[in-house]
Amino acid sequence: MKFLDQCKIYVRSGDGGGGAVSFRREKYIEYGGPDGGDGGRGGDVWIEAVDGLNTLIDFRYQQHFKAGTGIHGMGRNRHGAAGEDIVLKVPVGTQVLEEDKETLVADLDVAGKRVLLAKGGNGGWGNDRFKGPVNQAPKHANPGLPGEERWLWMRLKLIADAGLVGLPNAGKSTFLAAVSAAKPKIADYPFTTLVPNLGIVDLSSEERFVIADIPGLIEGASEGAGLGVRFLGHVERAGALIHLVDATQDDVVGAWRTVRAELEAYGEGLADRPEILALNKVDAIDADVRKAKARALKKAAGVAPRLISGVSGEGVQDLLRDAFKAIKLHRAAEVAEAAPAPDDLSGWSPV
């Protein structure tokens, strides 16, 4: 299945059905009168986050969605049926934006969350509603109200606890394959990873988190170079970033600074996320070179990098446990932020 994380759609709710103008004309009925029924209301357009989806590819082949129109009212006080609703099912983590691509309409970050995108028009009243002692034979009814229509953008941000960042060929896909059951494409050339990949890290029954590997960043990515920073949105929700630096390259400090600069240029708080810095592929260099490059990177970053190898597994478990600690702190902070503020009872007394 192809990966699609952004698309534009058109939604329109259903029009309401018109009210009926009708009069009773049965033989032997002493008192006739108006008996026009009401029209049915138009269908709504909803969007719902569901488990089991990880792409918006379904919306590439159908971009227009229209709910059902309400049925008109009929004689004998028969009301029209309501129009059929439409429910758009999207992956968890999908954001809905206005046509300007900036105004947030909904953030579907929890499975089962449902949001109304367009409300159906109300059905019109039949002439039975307008009868009274003055106007005993009304000959008019209300038309149904029109539905709503709008163009919207949908943008998918994968729900990941940790994100892998680094230059192309930093070994991110190899690392992901080593720590999870994911099977990303691995090859010895830049930009092997073209779309984000997710994997579940299972350290123990109580230590489990989701890790995302995104395409590598290069200098100028924030201005559109390479694959740009489009896929950084998939790690915006991450509680920690695992920054891999290729230990086999000459300038490890320059590689670290390049990625950090792109994270800061992207914004959205990514540069402030807890960063776990690691020199990857250390199995391919000797001990003296390891120490020299680790020393240089520590001087530039202010923290000692972990020495790991996705191929041999060296240092990987310790790095993952440190990442899980950072993720737990991030989750606790989110829960505390979402909790309602306690009532201020400082000046209260029972008397």
Domain boundaries, the chain: 6-156, 162-337
Residues in the chain: 351
CA pair distance 235, 159, nearest whole angstrom: 8
278 SS3 class: strand
CA pair distance 330, 333, nearest whole angstrom: 5
Q: Tell me the two tokens of residue 274.
A: 């807890």
**Residue corresponding to tokens 């488990």:** 51
The CATH classification number of 162-337 equals 3.40.50.300
Residues 6+ apart with CB under 8 A from 187: none
Residue 205: the pLDDT is 76
Phi and psi for 12 in degrees, rounded to 5?
A: -145, 125
CA pair distance 326, 272, nearest whole angstrom: 13
End-to-end CA distance of the chain: 68
Helices (H), the chain: 58-61, 172-179, 252-266, 287-301, 316-338
Dump pLDDT digits (tens) for 148-204: 999 999 998 887 888 888 888 888 888 888 888 777 667 665 666 667 788 888 888
CA pair distance 307, 305, nearest whole angstrom: 6
- Exposed / middle / buried, residue 150 (Cβ in 10 Å: 0-12, 13-18, 19+): middle
**Residue corresponding to tokens 């991110």:** 172
Report pTM: 0.77
Mean pLDDT for back-to-back runs of 10 residues, the chain (351 residues) = 82 97 82 90 96 86 95 93 96 92 92 95 95 90 96 89 86 87 68 74 84 76 57 82 90 90 82 89 89 92 91 90 88 73 60 54
- Distance from the Cα of residue 113 to its chain's centroid: 11
Residue 1: the pLDDT is 47
Q: Tell me the two tokens of residue 338.
A: 């979402």
- Exposed / middle / buried, residue 290 (Cβ in 10 Å: 0-12, 13-18, 19+): middle
Residue 187: the pLDDT is 64
Which of 305, 284, 310 lies closest to 295, judged by CA?
Answer: 305
Phi and psi for 214 in degrees, rounded to 5?
A: -110, 160
Report the CATH fold assignment for 6-156: Spo0b-associated Gtp-binding Protein; Chain: A, (2.70.210)
Q: Do 234 and 214 form a contact (C-beta atoms < 8 A)?
A: yes
**Beta bridge partner(s), residue 91:** 50
- Exposed / middle / buried, residue 72 (Cβ in 10 Å: 0-12, 13-18, 19+): buried
